[in-house]
Amino acid sequence: MICALDVGNTNIVLGVFNNNYDLIYSWRLATDISKTEDELYVIIKNFFDDKDIKFTNFDGVVISSVVPTMMFSLELLSKKYFKKEPIIVSNNIKTGLKVPEPYTSKLGADRVVDIVGAKVSNYLPAIIVDFGTATTFDYVDENMVYRGGIICPGINISSEALYKRAAQLPRVEIAEVETSLGMDTISQIKAGLLYGFIGQFENIIVNMKKEIDQDVNVVLTGGLSKLFAKYSDKVDIVDEELTLKGIIELYKMNK
């Protein structure tokens, strides 16, 4: 088996693949930069025990992280408990992605794995939108050439900022709404966040397509991708496993 760790600013997605590279289990846990390798081991062991999986069952480990402060603990976790030298997603490994200057050294691991996932899923050419802590938009052509993108604050960041900076406004959960005409504070905040970010998403897609000289798929991934797809006709594909698909493909290319 292969263990894949996708480490974002908010959550870590842990995926277990069999030797045919099929995803068989996945879990989500909160990102906590204070966690040591031993603490991470205890958390992951609980997931594994539930499925009767042992650390000795694994042939390899691959890590994609946008949280540099966690890399020391993650690498120690792999070496100490999996007994494996991990493959780290970076610009120093084979990806198949062609990134023109000046982007070459700056494209994050999260975006690289999404693009590779889109490639193996036959989605290219595509605008890939990842609704994470930040919302990223990346245009990649059919030849795996990166053509540019956009980074925006994520909807949860905006929700949290509203709660922290406006003393009388509560923290709300991002969820579906039934109307844009809220009759109380919570429903108005929910509608404002959702419809505001739908408008942002659609306007960005419209403007990106104006500059692209071919038909492209709009591919959504990330925790809120299904929610956004329900409210917009600009979406072609929703793939919540896109990141893990990209990570395991990079493992295959670099093992």
Give the domains, in start order, of the chain with CATH numbers: 2-89 (3.30.420.40), 122-238 (3.30.420.40)
Residues with a known catalytic role: 110
H/E element, 225:
helix 225-231
Instruction: Indicate whether 59 pLDDT > 90.
Output: yes
Query: How do 60-65 and 87-88 pair as beta strands?
Result: parallel
Neighbours of 214 (CB within 10 A): 8
Q: Three-class SS of residue 226?
A: helix
**CA-CA distance, 251 to 3, in Å (whole number)?**
10
For residue 35, the model assigns a pLDDT of 93
The helix (run of H) or strand (run of E) holding residue 26 is strand 23-30
Global confidence as pTM: 0.88
State which H helix or E strand residue 189 sits in: helix 185-211
| Contact yes or no for 124/225 (Cβ under 8 A) | no
Residue 173 C-alpha from the chain's centroid: 20
Query: What tokens were used for 12?
Result: 């870590």
Break the chain down into helix, strand, coil percent, rounded to 5.
Answer: 40, 25, 35
- Give the integer Cα–Cα distance in Å for 80 and 87: 15
Rounded to the nearest 5 degrees, what angle is found at the Cα of 207, between the Cα atoms of 203 and 213?
145
CA dist 31 and 67 (Å) reads 9
Residue 137 in tokens: 């938009």
Residue environment code for 116-126, b if the CB has 16+ CB neighbours within 10 A, otherwise e? bbbbbbebbbb
* pLDDT over 70 (residue 159): yes
Q: pLDDT of 203-244, one tens digit each?
A: 999 999 999 988 999 999 987 888 889 989 999 999 988 999
| 8 Å CB contact between 109 and 64 | yes
Question: Tens of pLDDT along 6-27?
Answer: 998 888 999 999 999 999 999 9
Q: Bridge partners of 87?
A: 62
- Give buried/exposed letters for 53-88 (b at 16+ CB in 10 A, else e): bebeebebbbbbbbbeebeebbbbbbeebbebebbb
Confidence of residue 117 (pLDDT cuts 50, 70, 90): very high
